[in-house]
């Protein structure tokens, strides 16, 4: 199967500068009954499971040591789909979050995993696509102190955490679902933090809905003057797939881009191969295992 973790010297697997977390928890109640028996992040978005898309973002950032957080009943399914991450040249671990205690709670669930590293956190139902994304991720990851949020211009800012910035891209305010938004820049479900985030997450109090809000974490970094902003411009797409209509929109978007351009979005094996994390033999074996599927055929074209 090509590269395995046993073949990689201890201490070199993963990006020593940053760990990654994919939060694939929650009940997916806005998608009921489709998610009564399966995790939302296992639903297909066009030709691949939803969780491939957030995983691809962390991999594009060069992050190879990743924790997936989900409900106990779904973790065996994620393991069946993704295994140890060996097929993708990464290392995957799994932790439980049986009740939706808030996005910031994932930082506490993953505290031992994060250890003394920085961390990239992404929500399992977020899709990002755009030319030149890797350099943006690399720039944000290289910041040694503070936090970075990725923001996107939306038409309905009242539904999101909204940030206002000055002419130098410095954040001025951050409000969760404001009645009167000061801007239409929404904070997406992708966040990069230094190691201080664990202590900050431990100190915040639950909101009125009983959850540890990620906005509260980001507001503390803003208060300390250590919140950075990366604005995703016109060449980017950010899709939140939490509702039936947005799920369908995402599938249409992915299908249209892939069909017209002849590429695949969030092909984990392709990212790993281009990064030098897996060998051509590993890609060939993976393509064989996926058979005559369109995805398997695509993997074969990578070797031509």
Contacting residues for 243 by C-beta, under 8 A, at least 6 apart: 30, 31
**What's the token pair of residue 232?**
């995703």
Q: In 3D, which of 216, 215, 218, 211 has the Cα closest to residue 102? A: 211
Residue 236, CA distances (Å) to 69, 131, 232, 261 in order: 27, 7, 6, 16
DSSP per position, 61-80? TT--EEEEEE-TTTHHHHHH
Contact 130, 155 (CB under 8 A): no
- pLDDT in the model for residue 295: 96
Q: In 3D, which of 109, 95, 97, 128 has the Cα closest to residue 197? A: 109
Segments of the chain with pLDDT less than 50: 1-16
Contacting residues for 149 by C-beta, under 8 A, at least 6 apart: 163, 187, 188, 190, 191, 218, 227, 228, 229, 230
- pLDDT in the model for residue 44: 94
Helix axis angle, 280-289 relative to 268-275, nearest 10°?
170
Phi, psi for 109 (deg, rounded to 5) = -60, -40
In whole angstroms, what is the distance from residue 31 CA to residue 244 CA? 6
In whole angstroms, what is the distance from residue 154 CA to residue 184 CA? 6
- pLDDT in the model for residue 2: 38
Burial bucket for residue 218 (CB in 10 Å: 0-12, 13-18, 19+): buried
Count other C-beta atoms under 10 Å from residue 145's C-beta.
11
In whole angstroms, what is the distance from residue 174 CA to residue 171 CA? 8
**What's the token pair of residue 214?**
């990620």
Q: How many helices (H) and strands (E) does the chain have?
A: 11, 13
pLDDT digits (tens, 9 = 90+) for 80-105: 999 999 999 999 999 999 787 899 99
For the 5-147+187-301 domain, the top CATH level (class) is: alpha beta
- Enumerate the domain spans of the chain: 5-147+187-301
Contact 190, 121 (CB under 8 A): yes
Contact 54, 62 (CB under 8 A): no
């Amino acid at each position: 199967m090509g590269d395995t973790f046993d073949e990689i010297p201890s201490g070199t697997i993963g990006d020593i500068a940053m760990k990654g977390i994919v939060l694939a928890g929650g009940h997916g109640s806005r998608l009921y009954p489709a998610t009564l028996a399966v995790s939302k992040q296992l639903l297909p978005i066009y030709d691949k499971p939803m969780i491939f898309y957030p995983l691809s973002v962390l991999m594009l950032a060069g992050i190879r040591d990743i924790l997936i957080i989900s409900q106990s009943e779904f973790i065996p399914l994620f393991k069946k789909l993704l295994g140890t991450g060996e097929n993708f040249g990464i290392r995957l671990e799994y932790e439980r979050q049986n009740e939706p205690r808030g996005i910031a709670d994932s930082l506490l669930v993953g505290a031992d995993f994060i250890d003394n590293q920085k961390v990239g956190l992404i929500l399992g139902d977020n899709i990002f696509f755009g030319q030149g994304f890797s350099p943006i991720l690399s720039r944000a990851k290289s910041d040694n102190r503070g936090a970075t949020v990725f923001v996107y211009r939306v038409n309905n800012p009242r539904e999101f955490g909204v940030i206002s910035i000055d002419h130098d891209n410095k954040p001025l305010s951050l409000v969760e679902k404001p009645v009167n938004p000061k801007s239409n820049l929404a904070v997406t479900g992708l966040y990069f933090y230094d190691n201080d985030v664990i202590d900050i997450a431990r100190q915040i109090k639950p909101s009125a809905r009983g959850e540890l809000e990620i906005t509260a974490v980001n507001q503390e970094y803003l208060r300390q003057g250590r919140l950075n902003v990366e604005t995703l411009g016109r060449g980017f797409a950010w899709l939140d797939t939490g509702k039936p209509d947005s799920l369908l929109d995402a599938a249409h978007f992915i299908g249209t881009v892939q069909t017209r351009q002849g590429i695949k979005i969030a092909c984990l094996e392709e990212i790993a191969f281009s990064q030098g994390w897996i060998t051509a033999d590993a890609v060939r074996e993976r393509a064989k295992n996926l058979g005559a599927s369109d995805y398997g055929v695509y993997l074969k074209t990578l070797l031509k």
